[in-house]
Amino acid sequence: MNPGVEIIQSYFPNISEKQIEQFTKLEELYSDWNSKINVISRKDMDQFYVHHVLHSLGISKVLQFQLGTKILDIGTGGGFPGIPLAILFPDAHFHLVDSIGKKITVVKDVVKQLKLSNVEAQQARAEELVRKYDFVVSRAVTRMANFYPWVKNKIRKEDINEYPNGILYLKGGEVDEEMEELGKSYVVYHLEDYFKEDFFETKKVVYMPWEDKR
């Protein structure tokens, strides 16, 4: 088995053969695309499974998405965190959005090659979207004070998961000062509590429940 996939399996021992196959195929697909356009920084491809796949799956250590959960991934880039999460949660629905067309081209191809029927990829700006979702996920595309206005009217009122609907944001370094700018409640989860690799020492998931449900 691919050593990167072995790391994934060590943290997610219940994944199926099909999921193992999908995770395995990811590296080949991204390496191929990376040779054409720079989707992932070259140095990061060496650590693809830890820096991209496992990092994306950190969200699942905070919350397990229930059947039918709708998740919006804003600024998905090449498909992170959305694609690894979509592999892990085949019964949830993922809408991956980025304003850069060539990145969405990559995402659409990866989704097709992996036969991920629970993923829709679209080139769009966050503020153009009109649908509502249970959760918005992202890998720190901007400061939360900028991000929040894009998504504040996109969260559904009815909760179907263990936690109230809201934002799950992958972030590195200090987060408190940035989060305090908004004056809203939030919880920080440290990924070093779940994953032993050095990369996760400063990595966090910030969960911001949706308070204003008018």
Render pLDDT for 4-23 as a digit per residue (tens, 0 to 9): 999 999 999 999 999 999 99
Tokens of 115: 């036969």
Q: How far is CA 141 from CA 25, 144, 174, 208, in A?
A: 26, 9, 15, 16
**pLDDT tens sequence across 131-177:** 999 999 999 878 898 999 889 899 999 999 999 999 999 999 889 98
Among 30-39, 62-71, 154-163, 190-199, which is the least confidently predicted range? 30-39
Tokens of 4: 């990167």
- Asked if the bond preceding 13 is cis, omega within 30° of 0, the reply is no
Q: Of 3.40.640.10, 3.40.50.150, 3.40.120.10, 3.40.50.2000, which CATH number belongs to 3-209?
A: 3.40.50.150
How confident is the model at residue 45, as a pLDDT?
Answer: 87
Residue with token string 């695309």: 33
* End-to-end C-alpha distance for the chain, whole angstroms: 50
How confident is the model at residue 214, as a pLDDT?
Answer: 40
Domain ranges of the chain: 3-209
Whether residue 89 is predicted with pLDDT greater than 70 in this model: the reply is: yes
CA atoms within 13 A on the CB side of 3: 4
In the structure, what pLDDT confidence band is assigned to residue 41 with cuts at 50, 70 and 90?
A: confident
**pLDDT tens sequence across 180-201:** 988 899 999 999 999 999 999 9
